[in-house]
Structure formats: C-alpha cells, structure tokens
Chain A
C-alpha cells in the first residue's frame, strides 16, 4: 500500500476555483446556503436544495464517518478502497480510504481528512481517525 499513486490534477473552473485555492493552503471547504441553512458538497454556486444563490464557503473540520465502502481488488493500478464518508457537518462525499488497514474497515468508523498531492491542487482523501 506504500507505493505512490499518481492522481490527476483538478481541471478547476470559475465556480470551484476557491475550493482548490483553499486546498493548496490545506483548508477543506464546503458550501453552505445562507437562505436555507443547508451545507452541501461538492460546491455549487446555486444551492441544490432551495436554489438560492446565497451560498458561502465554509471550512469543514475534515472529520467524518464511513457511510459505505468497497475494496476494489482487481485493478491495474492495485487495490484501493472507494467510500462515501459523511462529514461531521452533514454532507456525504465520495472518496478513497487510504494509508490504513483496508481489510478491517467498518461502516460507521471514524475517519479524518488527508491531502494527496497532484501536479495541481491537492485532493482530499480520508484515513482511519
């Protein structure tokens, strides 16, 4: 599991550029709508719940729990674990669980954010807390 995997650099666009700029500074951002109060991920300009344009960036804790996962054993780039993690702030997101024993993961297990480098901004991953 120690081999260094090459991840693609985010392409980014005007809507999401602030997320990636913050990522470069080690900050993990989500969006929250000030009209309905709901947080969401991945970030959008318009709230996917109430359709208000009053969405604001908010730094998330990087703490969460595993909603579900699957250890992909047959892959040309080696085994990896895809997962949905539910953030402490509410939204669930798709990610990989990395840098820990992938054979003993459990639904509901606490995980924390780790960044992995790319040729551009780093990408958010999660590992056992």
Chain B
C-alpha cells in the first residue's frame, strides 16, 4: 500500500476501522523503509526459534507447514567457462566458482554461513572451508552429502531445509574438478566390492544394460535415443562455452562408433574440466538483492539398487520416487513445467527420467523424445537449453549442478535468446547419481520464478 492509496482508504472507513487501517499503513511504511535501508545481510538472517516471530519475515502460504516450499531462493549462480583446465588445481576451480556465484548474488564471502560440497571437493569439508577462507565465526551449517552427479540437487534441497529451520541463511554449494587433466577422486569400496568389482561396470556399460533392457521391454530404438542428442546439439550451437557446438543428425549419432551396446559415442556425454556453484538463501535476503527471484518450491530425493537381486528391473530409476515427492510438495504436475533440466549422462538417462518423472507413460519415452520434441521453440518440452552434458559441459562427470544453473537462467530470462523459453516461470531440475544400472540416487527440484 502506498501513500496515495492510504489517503483514499482512510476516509472510506470510520471509527475503529480507520484506526486499524492507519496502524497497518504506518507499520507497512516503517517495514518498507527499513527494508530499503538494509545493507547488512546478517540483519536479515534467520535465527533459530526464539519464541518471537521476526516481523520482517514475509510468510508464504506454506510458511508454517512441514515443507520447504518457497522457503529458499537461488540468489547466485556461476558456471565456470572452462572445459579444459590443465593450469588450475581442483581446489582453485572450487574457489573460482564460489567467487563467481557469490558475486552473481551481490554478496560477499563473509555472508556465507552454510557450505555444501560432495566427493569432488579435495579433502572434503575441513580442507575446503579452510582453503576458501570461509568465515568460521559465521559458518554454522555444513553438509557433505555424496550421491554422485545428483549431489548438488540434493544439496539444494538440504540447503532449503536448513534455511527453513533457521540453521543457515546464505548457503554456498560448489562443484569442480578436472577429469581431463588430473586424477579423479577415489571412492571407498562398498560391501558389494568382492561380488561386483571384477566385472568392470562402468558408466557406459551400466547405462548400456538399462538401454538394452528398455529396448527389449518397450521397443525403444536407437533412432529415438539419438533424438535426445540431436536436441541437445541444437541448443549447444548457441552456447559459446559448449564443448561440442556442431548440430548433429540422427544419422550422425547412429553412425558414431558403438561404445557399449546399444550406446554409440554420441549417446554419451562429454568429459570436461570445470565446475559450478550456487548461492541458496532466505526469501528476505533474496528480495534485498538485485537478481530476478527464483525459488525452490518442491524437492525430492530417493535411492535404488538391486537389493539382494530380487525382482530386478533396470527400466526405471529412483526418479519414480523423487519426482512425485517434489511435484507433490510444489503442488504442480509435469504438464505445468515450462522448461526441464534433465541429467543427460547418456541419452537413455534422459529417456528413463522423463518417463519416471511422469512427462509420459513408462515405455513411451522413445515416442516422446522423437521428432524434436525436446528442442526449444520446436517441441513441447524444451530441455537442457545450454547443450547439457551431451554437448556443453559435464564437470567431474557430475551433471547435477549444471542442471540447476540452466534452469535458473531460464527462470531469470537469462538463457540465450535463441533457446529462451517465453514466460518461463516454472522449471524442473532433475538428476541421478551413481550408476543407473547398478546403485544410484535421484533428486528432483521444482523451481519457480516469483
């Protein structure tokens, strides 16, 4: 309510009503003045329950429910432009993406009071917090959840939970590494090691086994899978940083060498050095900054494995559980989604995720992705408009971070004009981590432009 409106409103009421409305007006004026004057982020930081409601908190409809809906905003994003970094260290790449995301948000390193990282960060939390020089007097929430490529989607959900609970107010999430020019981080052996390690499961053949069974059960074809790469390549041509910028055809994909049946080379994502980072924060802090407002309204996470070998079914992923959890929390359906970031480690990954998330029925993914249906401006569901992991970037062989970043660009209206989805106000970012055909996690984030 502004001054003029108030001037009209007050004479229209009499007695107590006038007093009440006037009091409201004075209160709102003071609040907005105070908000405009704020330059100190810590003044807006949420604190744990004190028994006194912070008068600056603007309630969402779900504020008091057990949900993260609308309680956390992505205020800063940064994707490292490099795809080949022989002259940088892995820790340095983490620092560079952290700096980029903090600056994008318009914040400073000293504002960070939550830090989220995964298995790609050298040494984990203690070394990284120290290396980055995070303010340890302020840092009050950390999380090193490691679920492979979807770690960062889970981090986004966990950051929202922490922010909703008042455990932190400005959370930094980083991903970086250099699989092309340095060693990959080691992973501790699981209980299955003696019973599986010798058989040489790799990403290529583990996803190949999923594709083989999907083709067997549902008649999915290599041509249909190829359309996913074709769509990604149409988008990548406009991304100056994309590793592969050439538009390819279905024939190009089918004629590329077979890597692990039935996956061709062009069914596989790129391997890149690089990284990305994001800043997740409270509604109040996000609104005090300059970037378009993008918030998380639904999140789901789930796990799947062979579980003793009973009823093995490699044609669906843990996305069948993470997806509905996220959609239910957000209160939207796949039909409402304007843009989809779907982890594309391989073409089959995208096809199975689209089915599992409910964009089409199980087994109909092949028909859904064909004929350019995923190409922005052409099909019904624009996907991975940065070129995705198939063409642009797949830092440290982990695709979850870049999925969030392009979804935020779309919601901000900052995607390349040739691929920007008009009036993009609702997006999904989804990914899996681990080996789809063996053991994996999935995480789904529903994002909304406010």
A contact set with B: CB distance below 8 Å: 7-8, 10-12, 16, 20, 38, 40-42, 44, 48-49, 67-75, 77, 80, 82-84, 86-87, 90-96, 107, 118, 123
Q: Given that A84-B209, A94-B199, A123-B198 are known contacts, is A71 also in contact with B216, CB under 8 Å in the complex?
A: no
Determine if A92 and B260 form an interchain contact, defined as CB atoms under 8 angstroms apart. no
Determine if B308 and A96 form an interchain contact, defined as CB atoms under 8 angstroms apart. no
Contact of B216 among A41, A68, A72 (CB under 8 A): A68
B contact set with A: CB distance below 8 Å: 191-202, 204-206, 208-213, 216, 257-263, 306-310, 312, 314, 437-438
Query: Nearest chain-B residue to A107 (Cβ)?
Result: B216
Known: A70-B212, A73-B259; 13 extra A-B contacts, CB below 8 A, are A38-B310, A68-B212, A70-B205, A70-B261, A71-B260, A72-B208, A73-B258, A82-B200, A82-B209, A84-B312, A86-B309, A93-B195, A107-B213
5 CB contacts below 8 A, A to B, read A8-B197, A69-B212, A72-B259, A74-B260, A77-B200
Determine if B196 and A94 form an interchain contact, defined as CB atoms under 8 angstroms apart. yes
Q: 7 smallest A-B Cβ distances: which pairs?
A: A91-B309, A70-B208, A40-B308, A42-B195, A92-B312, A68-B213, A10-B194
Determine if A68 and B314 form an interchain contact, defined as CB atoms under 8 angstroms apart. yes
Q: Given that A74-B204, A84-B314 are known contacts, is A49 also in contact with B308, CB under 8 Å in the complex?
A: yes
Determine if B310 and A42 form an interchain contact, defined as CB atoms under 8 angstroms apart. no
Q: How far is the CB of A124 from chain B (nearest CB, A)?
A: 9
B residues less than 8 Å from A96 (CB atoms): 198-200
A residues less than 8 Å from B198 (CB atoms): 7-8, 96, 118, 123
Most chain A CB atoms below 10 A, which of B197, B204, B310: B310
B residues less than 8 Å from A77 (CB atoms): 200
B residues less than 8 Å from A107 (CB atoms): 212-213, 216
Measured in the bound complex, the distance between the Cα atoms of B216 and A12 in whole Å is: 36
Measured in the bound complex, the distance between the Cα atoms of B165 and A108 in whole Å is: 51
A residues less than 8 Å from B192 (CB atoms): 42
Determine if A92 and B306 form an interchain contact, defined as CB atoms under 8 angstroms apart. yes
B residues less than 8 Å from A123 (CB atoms): 198
Q: How far is the CB of A85 from chain B (nearest CB, A)?
A: 10
Determine if A75 and B200 form an interchain contact, defined as CB atoms under 8 angstroms apart. yes
A residues less than 8 Å from B312 (CB atoms): 67, 84, 86, 92
B residues less than 8 Å from A67 (CB atoms): 213, 312, 314
Q: How far is the CB of A58 from chain B (nearest CB, A)?
A: 14
Q: Given that A71-B260, A73-B259, A96-B200 are known contacts, is A11 also in contact with B194, CB under 8 Å in the complex?
A: yes
B residues less than 8 Å from A90 (CB atoms): 309-310
Determine if B310 and A11 form an interchain contact, defined as CB atoms under 8 angstroms apart. no
Determine if A82 and B206 form an interchain contact, defined as CB atoms under 8 angstroms apart. yes
Query: Nearest chain-A residue to B217 (Cβ)?
Result: A107
A residues less than 8 Å from B308 (CB atoms): 38, 40-41, 44, 48-49, 91
Determine if A94 and B260 form an interchain contact, defined as CB atoms under 8 angstroms apart. no
Measured in the bound complex, the distance between the Cα atoms of B191 and A44 in whole Å is: 9
B residues less than 8 Å from A94 (CB atoms): 195-196, 199, 201, 306, 438
Determine if A12 and B194 form an interchain contact, defined as CB atoms under 8 angstroms apart. yes
Determine if B259 and A93 form an interchain contact, defined as CB atoms under 8 angstroms apart. no
Q: Given that A40-B309, A90-B309, A96-B200 are known contacts, is A72 also in contact with B260, CB under 8 Å in the complex?
A: yes
Determine if A95 and B194 form an interchain contact, defined as CB atoms under 8 angstroms apart. no
Query: Nearest chain-B residue to A82 (Cβ)?
Result: B205
Measured in the bound complex, the distance between the Cα atoms of B27 and A71 in whole Å is: 70
B residues less than 8 Å from A16 (CB atoms): 194-195
Measured in the bound complex, the distance between the Cα atoms of B196 and A95 in whole Å is: 7
Determine if A70 and B195 form an interchain contact, defined as CB atoms under 8 angstroms apart. no
Determine if B260 and A91 form an interchain contact, defined as CB atoms under 8 angstroms apart. no
Determine if B200 and A72 form an interchain contact, defined as CB atoms under 8 angstroms apart. yes
Measured in the bound complex, the distance between the Cα atoms of B193 and A77 in whole Å is: 20
Measured in the bound complex, the distance between the Cα atoms of B199 and A93 in whole Å is: 11
Contact of B310 among A49, A74, A75 (CB under 8 A): A49
Measured in the bound complex, the distance between the Cα atoms of B193 and A82 in whole Å is: 15
Most chain B CB atoms below 10 A, which of A12, A49, A72, A92: A72
Query: Nearest chain-B residue to A8 (Cβ)?
Result: B198
Determine if B193 and A11 form an interchain contact, defined as CB atoms under 8 angstroms apart. yes
Query: Nearest chain-A residue to B312 (Cβ)?
Result: A92
Determine if A41 and B309 form an interchain contact, defined as CB atoms under 8 angstroms apart. yes
Determine if B307 and A48 form an interchain contact, defined as CB atoms under 8 angstroms apart. yes
B residues less than 8 Å from A75 (CB atoms): 200
A residues less than 8 Å from B258 (CB atoms): 73
